[in-house]
Amino acid sequence: MHEATPGPAPIEVSLPATREALAGLRAGDAVLLSGPVYTARDATHERLVTEVRLAGELPFGLAGQTLFYAGPTPPAAGRPAGSVGPTTSRRMDPATPSLLKAGIVATIGKGARSEEVRRACAEYGAVYFVTVGGAAALLATHVTAAEPVAYPELGTEALVRLELERFPAFVAIDARGENLYLAAALEWRGAAGTGGGDL
Amino acid sequence: MVAAGAIGDAVYEAVIRAATTLRPDALEAMHAALERERSPRGRVVLGQLLENARIAADDHVPLCQDTGSVWVLLEVGEDECVCGDVPAAIDGAVASAYADARLRTSIARDALLDRGNTGDNTPAFIDVGFRPGTGVTVNVMLKGGGSDNASAVRMLSPAEGEEGVIRFVTETVAHTATSACPPVLVGVGVGATFDKVAILAKKALLREIGSEHPEPHLAGLEQRLLAEVNALGVGPGGLGGTVTALAAHVLTAPCHIASLPVAVNVGCSAVRTARVEVSSIA
């Protein structure tokens, strides 16, 4: 992968991640994720929340697993998905605290989240990863397998198990509830224009 | 004469090109952004976006998994005669292009009554305008949900003036930019009516990045908007930095004496538009 600047080397994270491993991550860390994740978007969340409410536990062995807010394109270029990238996490915010409580340990998406989600991450020791929106062709080269698990009738919103291999992401909310978006906004607000040539 | 089928052929070509190839002006602006971005994390993100554009073009795969709703803006020559069922030709072309290029279909049958997927990404959303001459200019935009959701319309009071416009644009981007896949292209429409101002904002995204607005006052307004948006510090990927937007484009129009309509349509880092000229056939 092209790295524009040498920074601290990304941290390798194996999924499903233990709470101990997640506790060692800090908001802002660059990570490479390897292992299974489960795609879940708006309609999938409605179903999962209903299942948790009715059965009292997560279905499909999702306890301890990671949800990826994504709806991939069909297979292409010899890969299980031609392109796969994050959708807006905020839409899943109302469902997330109950799913974290039920045992989801990490989520992957894009964009800032509600205060309720930040607090739920801290309460349950969960981590919110973000990956770059608009980089879906690149991200697809880090997905080695895709296997439908449930809700095939939802099409691109079906629950699909993806196998990731060194999938690049950042820690946006860590297990202590520290929030990269807040820190980044404070650090960089007003910075453009102060160094010349930024416009 | 221009036949509906020729417009369909143009839409087919434009959809596939837009989905898999980053606009040359966006690619150039992204390279320039990498030079001036001061945040190390922001530079990593820009590097990923440039690498993404290369992989998509080499492997003929979509730049983004959200291959969007299809907006078609037809600019018809005033001396042109267009024959046939144009909406049907466009929808047929969209369905074929999405199947052939293995793009994701993302259109719900009805916003409230039936959220089921139409399965072929139709219907396309079509606007028609007129321009001098003959032939038809076919503009196609694939609009991702994240960036369209980051957009807004507000009916300002004329007394709020240009400062009100700047405030509204900046607030809109500040509120939603982390989910709109920055660095963004900020399309701004000012004027017309409640419904037309949104089309102006969307049309502003079609203009080449790096081109100067022909009207000097509006060129200055675009520079001011870009400075205000970049000062937000949202940065590439929303992870902090000095490049939140690649450009701000403004289109203005006449409006009612009581009104100052403003619209912001946000284009994402994978802004996907393509233009095809369809010539007149005797």
Cα separation, A57 vs A48, in Å, equals 10
- Which residues, including other chains, have CB under 8 Å from residue B275's CB and lie 6 or more apart? B14, B137, B138, B139, B140, B206
| pLDDT above 50 for B120 | yes
Report the phi/psi class of residue B238: left, alpha or beta, with left for phi > 0 and alpha for psi in -120 to 50: left
Partnered with residue B3 across adjacent β-strands are B83
Q: Rounded to a whole number, what is the distance in Å from the CA of B248 to chain A's nearest CA? A: 11
Q: Answer whether B61 sits within 8 Å of A137, measured CB to CB.
A: yes
| pLDDT above 90 for B216 | yes
Question: In 3-state terms, what secondary structure has residue B18?
Answer: helix
Find the mean pLDDT for residues B73-88. Answer: 98
On the CB side of A66, how many CA atoms lie within 13 Å of its CA? 26
Strands B114-117 and B108-110: antiparallel
Range of the domain at B126: 2-23+61-144+273-278
B35 belongs to a structural domain? no
- Which residues, including other chains, have CB under 8 Å from residue A199's CB and lie 6 or more apart? A192, A193, B223, B226, B227, B230
Q: B86 and B163 share a domain?
A: no
Q: B87 and B65 share a domain?
A: yes
Q: Answer whether A75 sits within 8 Å of B241, measured CB to CB.
A: no
Q: B122 and B150 share a domain?
A: no
Give the burial string for B174-207 (b: 16+ CB within 10 Å, else e). bebbbbbbbbbbbbbbbbbeeeebbbbbbbbbbb
Task: Let me know: does B178 contact A112? Beta carbons within 8 Å.
Answer: yes
> Which of B60, B66, B119 shows the shortest C-beta gap to A77?
B60
B133 belongs to a structural domain? yes
B108 belongs to a structural domain? yes
Taking a contact as any Cβ pair under 8 Å apart, which residues of chain A between 55 and 84 contact chain B? Answer: 70-77, 79, 81-84
Q: Answer whether A199 sits within 8 Å of B146, measured CB to CB.
A: no
Q: B164 and B265 share a domain?
A: yes
Question: In 3-state terms, what secondary structure has residue B192?
Answer: strand
> Which of A3, A82, A199 shows the shortest C-beta gap to B226?
A199
Find the mean pLDDT for residues B151-180. Answer: 96
Q: What pLDDT, on the 0 to 100 scale, is given for residue A5?
A: 47
Domain count, chain B: 2
Closest C-alpha to A143, from A75, A62, A60, A44? A75
Cα separation, B43 vs B52, in Å, equals 14
pLDDT tier, A194 (very low <50, low <70, confident <90, very high otherwise): low
Which position has the token pair 């990731």?
A164
- State which CATH number among 3.20.130.10, 3.40.50.720, 3.30.365.10, 3.40.50.1820 fits the domain covering A11-187: 3.20.130.10
Q: B124 and B223 share a domain?
A: no
Q: B67 and B180 share a domain?
A: no
Find the mean pLDDT for residues B155-173. Answer: 98
Q: Answer whether A112 sits within 8 Å of B238, measured CB to CB.
A: yes
Give the burial string for A126-151 (b: 16+ CB within 10 Å, else e). bbbbbbbbbbbbbbbbbbeebeeebb
Q: B161 and B200 share a domain?
A: yes
- Which residues, including other chains, have CB under 8 Å from residue A92's CB and lie 6 or more apart? A40, A41, A42, A45, A69, A107, A109
B40 belongs to a structural domain? no
- In tens, the pLDDT along B51-75 reads 999 999 999 999 999 999 999 999 9
Q: B75 and B153 share a domain?
A: no
Alpha-helical runs (H) found in chain B: 4-20, 24-36, 40-59, 86-100, 145-149, 161-176, 196-204, 216-230
Q: B89 and B79 share a domain?
A: yes
Which of A29, A188, A194 is most worth mutating to test chain B (most B CB atoms within 10 A of its CB)? A188
| pLDDT above 60 for A195 | no
Cα separation, B187 vs B208, in Å, equals 12
Q: Domain ranges for chain A, please list them.
A: 11-187
Which position has the token pair 């802004």?
B271
| pLDDT above 80 for A197 | no
Structure tokens at B162: 């240009």
Q: Answer whether B119 sits within 8 Å of A155, measured CB to CB.
A: yes
Give just the sign of the alpha carbon dihedral B232, B237, B241, B247: negative
- Residue A61's alpha-carbon distances to A36, A123, A124, B119, in angstroms, are 12, 22, 18, 30
Q: What pLDDT, on the 0 to 100 scale, is given for residue A192?
A: 87
Q: Answer whether B56 sits within 8 Å of A141, measured CB to CB.
A: no
Helices B216-230, B161-176: inter-axial angle, 10-degree rounding = 40
Report the phi/psi class of residue B3: left, alpha or beta, with left for phi > 0 and alpha for psi in -120 to 50: beta
Q: Rounded to a whole number, what is the distance in Å from the CA of A17 to chain B's nearest CA? A: 23
Q: B12 and B137 share a domain?
A: yes
| pLDDT above 60 for A75 | yes
Find the mean pLDDT for residues B247-270. Answer: 98
Write down the pTM of the prediction.
0.94
Report the phi/psi class of residue A197: left, alpha or beta, with left for phi > 0 and alpha for psi in -120 to 50: left
| pLDDT above 90 for A20 | yes
Q: B138 and B16 share a domain?
A: yes
Q: B114 and B196 share a domain?
A: no
Partnered with residue B76 across adjacent β-strands are B130, B136
Structure tokens at B136: 């038809």
Which of B36, B66, B142 is most worth mutating to test chain A (most A CB atoms within 10 A of its CB)? B66
- In tens, the pLDDT along B20-49 reads 999 999 999 999 999 999 999 999 999 999
Chain A hits for B227, CB-CB cut-off 8 Å, are 192-193, 199
Chain B hits for A4, CB-CB cut-off 8 Å, are 34, 43-44, 46-47
Averaged confidence pLDDT in chain B: 97
H/E element, A154: none
> Which of A30, A156, A181 shows the shortest C-beta gap to B238?
A181
Q: Considering chain A, what percentage of its residues have pLDDT values greater than 70? A: 93
